[in-house]
Amino acid sequence: MEISMDPKIQAWMNERIKEDQVAKYMRNGRDFIDEPAIEAALAANKNPDPKRIAGILEKSLAIQTLTLDETAALLNVQDRGQWEVMQDTALRIKKKVYDNRVVTFAPLYLGSLCVNNCLYCGFRKDNERSTRRVLSPEEVRSETKILAGTIGHKRLIAVYGEHPATDVDYMVSTIKTIYGVKEKTRHGWGQIRRVNVNAAPMSIEELSALKNAGLGTYQVFQETYHHATYQRLHPAGTIKAHYLWRLYCMHRAQEAGIDDVGIGVLFGLYDWRFEVMGLLRHAQDLEEQFGIGPHTISFPRLEPADNMSYSHDNPYKVSDDDFKKLITVIRLAVPYTGMIITARETARMRQDAFSFGCTQTDASSRIGVGAYAEEYEQQQGRRQQFFLGDTRSLEEVIRDFAERGYITSFCTAGYRCGRTGKCIMDLLRSGAEGKFCKLNAVLTFREWLDDFAGEPTRSVAEPLIEKELREVKSRLPEFYSQLVAYYERVKNGERDLFF
Ligand code: SAM
Ligand code: SF4
């Protein structure tokens, strides 16, 4: 049933899109998703020669962004053995750029009101079964207290529907509220140190306001880069129907001074090979116009949502095998970028994904509005956007990673000391960022272990942190004594020391 729109909300919607903040980034009136060129590259690079693939992998290992043809060749590889070589290379690249670190975060849903009608989403305006809600400042504080004080997160992704009740002023005030929460823990205190945002495309002026409020990464997924599919899934008359307003929001973010931007595709809406090429084109265009590619790439797969039939009979559903392939190719094509896999996926898939490219994941996730502070009740399905595949706690996820040699980093130093955008890209490409990250990973992991870990986790994690300290001593001797001094201070209850 179509739900009619309040005239005041309609008036707000009519003012959202600024055409001049789209047209200025286009070239000769065309956007950067040249579908015939993508299709032609995919068709022209069938059955690639193994020697050519080896050359492409060398380029990825040198942390250089690939071309459309090179990426098409990788996507067209058929031989299983060659895919294994590609996955090994993806892991080598990840180790080179990000070492054995894992970054964790939690999603925080602030509101489920939405003026859009995306066919695949439980929050779409015509889903009359969805229980709508927007968190009050007190509720935002309660959610944050649990995330920062009980679970131990340091990073959040704040998620908003598109609605005047959760407009940019609401976003600014909730970001400030989140940063303001400081909770006592076992040996120190817990606090959110980086608030990233996943929200609708905004104007340059609105994005500047978010930047001033202390935004970390601004994340918007294009959902699908295929124009006709996009139009079909985002009904006319909604704001989201404007493909170009969305396509160029990261360009506007750059102009607003937000240089950590996160792009993504909702895989399962259109052909996955085409979408990987779309992500690459997005990264290339940002590099060309601003000298900075995406800080992160996300690749959620479509999940069933409440009262939604779309995902059940979908010809573009991505199999597990193809999902692993697309993760591998994204790592190879845009080698410097952070790659996020979420709790939409099962624990097993997340483990695999980390072994060929992923760097970040969420844990202890609740995707209902207000779901952290309140008991998880039967109603959950009705107020969340879709369903999760992995509901393990942060501690379980950290222990699992530690058992496999990964250290969880809660470092948020980068954006607070100017290591963002082009600066961080250059550091990542050269491998130099790694040294700061390694030191900060040790310090923040120590904090988390002392404040939140139970005995079984500590027994796995302590040998790991000792190993990291030994590695710093041998690989970064110039920082070792300073690190040990900070480490002792952290053990004595000081918090938030970083390089
Ligand atoms: N409303 C904003 C927007 O659409 O950009 C941001 C919030 S929206 C809740 C965040 C993301 O959730 C969307 O960009 C989409 O990729 C993803 N999403 C929506 N429905 C989904 C589903 N059924 N399964 C998996 N992801 C979904
Ligand atoms: Fe609204 Fe975003 Fe869901 Fe679309 S995906 S209905 S814009 S919350």
What's the DSSP call for residue 58? H
- Residue 34's Cβ-count burial label (10 Å; 0-12, 13-18, 19+) is middle
Q: How far is the CA of 161 from the centre of ligand 1 (A)?
A: 9
Q: Are residues 413 and 271 in the same domain?
A: yes
Q: How far, in Å, CA of 462 to CA of 444, rounded?
A: 13
**Any domain includes 254:** yes
In short, whether 369's Cβ falls inside 6 Å of ligand 2 is no
**Residue numbers of the chain with a pLDDT score lower than 70:** 1-3, 309, 311-313, 375-387, 415-425, 427-428, 430-434
* Average pLDDT of the residues of the chain: 92
Helical (H) or strand (E) element with 446: helix 433-452
Residue with tokens 């942390």: 63
Judge if 459 and 353 occupy the same domain.
no
- This prediction has a pTM of 0.94
Of 384, 402, 430, which closes a domain? 430
Residue 114 identity (one-letter amino acid): C
The pLDDT score that the predictor gives to residue 376 is: 40
199 lines ligand 1 (CB under 6 A): yes
Q: Which of 116, 121, 167, 306 to mutate to test the pocket of ligand 1 (most atoms within 8 A of CB)?
A: 121
Judgement on whether residues 399 and 442 belong to the same structural domain of the protein: no
**Domain for residue 396, yes or no?**
yes
Q: What is the pLDDT of residue 128?
A: 86
Measured from the CB, is residue 303 less than 6 Å from ligand 1? Answer: yes
CATH number for the domain including 292? Answer: 3.20.20.70
Residue 240 Cα to ligand 1 midpoint, Å, equals 12
Of 329, 362, 332, nearest in space to 345 by CA = 362
Q: Residue 155 forms beta bridges with which residues?
A: 194
Query: Residue 12 Cα, ligand 2 centroid: separation in angstroms?
Result: 17
| The pLDDT of residue 436 | 81
Contact 204, 89 (CB under 8 A): no
Within-domain flag for 131: yes
Do 425 and 444 belong to one domain?
no
Residues 300, 308 contacting (CB under 8 angstroms):
no
Whether 267 lines ligand 1, by a CB cut-off of 6 Å, is no
What is the structure's pLDDT at 378? 40
311, 327: one domain:
yes
Q: Ligand 2: which residue has its CA nearest to atom 6?
A: 124
Give the ligand whose atoms come closest to the C-alpha of residue 196.
Answer: 1
Q: Which domain holds residue 332?
A: 91-430
Q: How far is CA 292 from CA 210, 284, 306, 337, 374, in A?
A: 19, 9, 38, 11, 41
Query: Domain boundary residue among 377, 404, 430?
Result: 430
Distance in Å, CA 284 to ligand 2 centroid: 26
Does any domain span residue 29? no
Residue 274, ligand 1, Cβ within 6 A: no
Q: Which of 386, 406, 430 delimits the end of a domain?
A: 430
- Give the ligand at the shortest distance from the Cα of 117: 2
Backbone angles phi, psi at 359, to 5 degrees: -130, -20
259 part of a folded domain: yes
Q: Is 295 in the pocket of ligand 2 (CB under 6 A)?
A: no
Q: Is the CB of 233 under 6 A from ligand 1?
A: no
Q: Are residues 341 and 481 in the same domain?
A: no
User: Looking at residue 71, what is its pLDDT?
Assistant: 98
| Any atom of ligand 1 within 6 Å of the Cβ of 268 | no
Q: Do 413 and 448 have their domain in common?
A: no
Kindly compute the dihedral angle of the four CA atoms of residues 365, 327, 331, 286, in this order, to the nearest 10 degrees.
-80
Within a domain: 180: yes
* 133 occurs within a structural domain: yes
Ligand (nearest to CA of 112): 2
Same domain? 426 vs 438? no
Q: Is there a single domain that holds both residue 451 and residue 329?
A: no
Tokens, residue 494: 């000081």
How many domains, in total, are found in the chain?
A: 2
User: What pLDDT was estimated at residue 424?
Assistant: 67
Q: How many CB atoms lie within 10 A of CB 333?
A: 27
Give a yes or no: residue 11 inside a domain: no
Query: What is the predicted pLDDT for the residue at 379?
Result: 44
Distance of alpha carbon 89 from the chain centroid? 22
Cβ of 124 closer than 6 Å to ligand 2, yes or no, is: yes
Same domain, yes or no: 209 and 251: yes
479 and 357, same structural domain?
no
- CB of 233 within 6 A of ligand 2: the answer is no
Which atom of ligand 2 lies closest to the CA of 114? Answer: 1
Same domain, 271 and 322: yes
**Predicted pLDDT of residue 374:** 77
CB 390, CB 258: distance < 8 Å = no
